[in-house]
Amino acid sequence: MTTIIDQLAPADEAELSEILTAASGDRQPLRILGGGTRTETAHIAGTPLDVSAISGVVTYEPGEMTLIARAGTPLPEIEAMLEAEGQSLAFEPPDLRGVLGGRGIPTIGGAIAANASGPRRIRTGACRDHLLGLRFVDGPGRILRNGGRVMKNVTGLDLSRLLCGSHGTLGVLTEVAIKTLPHAQARATLGFHGIDELRALGIFSKALATPYEVSGAAFLDGTAWLRIEGLPPQVEYRQQRLLEMFGAHDIQTLDGAATRELWRGLRDVAHFAGDLPLWRILVKPTDAAAIVARLHDLGGQVSLDWGGGLIWYCGPGEASSLRQIAPHATLVRRGGVPGPAFPPEAPAITRLSQELRRRFDPAGILNPGLMDS
């Protein structure tokens, strides 16, 4: 174990276990860091615990479409390795460095801890849906393992889904097993310009109800975008059918290269880079239009993803005002806004969350206050 300017930096899982055992005994709060690109944590009290050195691919079997990697492995390294084999992480984890001003490199553990899911979620599911298993160290320093290396071996209590999205408050991830999928050989995008959010939601609803496997449905700056991916003949066929379906619109079509560039920016919320408060809001797509109208009254800007199921709001507004409009609003970039970053939970969920934390982190040392202050 090394200590760098009051920062703990374990080299492996065993050292991490030793650190957590000691910290738990002393009730010393810890602030968990990987790449530092997912969540603002500077406001959390505690000694920084940098786990980025617990890194490296353990095994990758393209034929089995299975990847096992240590949690600190950089995402770009994993994505390049998969690309060379014609595969990808289908959940399309966003890179929020531009949004949060992070200088680090996103890690696979950070993506799992945040359940980071990009535009393709509407087609392939969320990050946790591709997680086969994991290893982690809990608050008292116990090394735990759950799940398997293939879907048929994932039995028993599914701690993997519990840890995915817990933001390091239940345990520190050390290794993850993930299902990979072949990447799309072809892709195209249809753009509907000069419309508002209400019309965009109508387009999304109609397109997503078709069998044409739309893999992205987003709205930004007066344009609704629909993405199609697959084998070249499939993409050509689906694109033609959608063009016929929406023939009354003036539709722009983007080729594969332009599609990749556009959706990378939409995935990473590059359009809202800056210093203003940024909110991530989960809604029912059927409620999106009413919520967006009220958000516009606050004076900020809005974009949509997941066919209207995800709203990004950038601009002024107090936390109480935002959550009165949209209860499931998470403050991704504070921009001077005080108060809880995560939305309040229902009383029953709060009791369950507290009991889980008492089980996995009885001393309360892991990212204390991150998800409730």
Q: What is the mean pLDDT of residues 337-364?
A: 92
Please give the pLDDT value at position 119.
98
Separation CA 347–CA 353 (nearest Å)? 10
- What's the maximum distance between 2 C-alpha atoms anywhere in the chain? 67
Instruction: Report which residue type is found at 76.
Output: P
Please give the pLDDT value at position 252.
96
Separation CA 45–CA 373 (nearest Å)? 11
| Whole-number average pLDDT of the chain | 93
Confidence of residue 148 (pLDDT cuts 50, 70, 90): low
Please give the pLDDT value at position 154.
47
Please give the pLDDT value at position 359.
95
Least confident segment among 144-148, 201-205, 309-313: 144-148
Instruction: Report which residue type is found at 99.
Output: V
Please give the pLDDT value at position 35.
84
Cβ-based neighbours of 356, under 8 Å, separated by 6 or more: 162, 170
Helix axes 197-208, 288-296, angle to 10 degrees: 160
Please give the pLDDT value at position 6.
61
Tokens 């023939």 appear where? 247
Please give the pLDDT value at position 2.
41
The token pair that represents 292 in the structure block: 């967006």
Cα 41–Cα 117–Cα 254 angle in degrees, nearest 5: 125
Please give the pLDDT value at position 150.
52
Q: List the CATH code of the domain at 1-183+343-373.
A: 3.30.465.10
Express each pLDDT in 240-275 by its tens digit. Answer: 999 999 988 889 999 999 999 999 999 999 999 999
Separation CA 254–CA 70 (nearest Å)? 37
Asked whether residue 310 carries a pLDDT value surpassing 60, the answer given is yes
Q: Which CATH class is domain 270-333?
A: alpha beta
Please, how many CA atoms are within 13 Å of residue 274, restricted to the half-sphere of its CB?
A: 10
Asked whether residue 198 carries a pLDDT value surpassing 90, the answer given is yes
Measured between its terminal Cα atoms, the distance across the chain in Å is: 30
Separation CA 271–CA 337 (nearest Å)? 20
In DSSP notation, 58-107 reads EEEEGGGTEEEEETT-BHHHHHHHHHHTTEE-TT-----HHHHT--S--B
Please give the pLDDT value at position 36.
81
> Which residue would you say has higher pLDDT here, 148 or 202?
202
The token pair that represents 125 in the structure block: 């599911």
Please give the pLDDT value at position 39.
79
Q: Is 220 helix (H, G, I), strand (E, B) or coil?
A: strand
Whether the CB-CB separation of 246 and 200 falls below 8 Å is answered with no
Separation CA 76–CA 118 (nearest Å)? 15
Express each pLDDT in 63-111 by its tens digit. Answer: 999 999 999 999 999 999 999 999 999 999 999 999 998 788 999 999 9
Instruction: Report which residue type is found at 123.
Output: R
Please give the pLDDT value at position 68.
98
Domain boundaries, the chain: 1-183+343-373, 186-267, 270-333
Phi-psi label, residue 222: left if phi above 0, alpha if psi -120 to 50, beta otherwise: left
- Topology match between the domains 186-267 and 270-333: yes
Q: Which CATH architecture has domain 186-267?
A: 2-Layer Sandwich (3.30)
Please give the pLDDT value at position 1.
46
- Rounded to two decimals, what is the model's pTM? 0.92
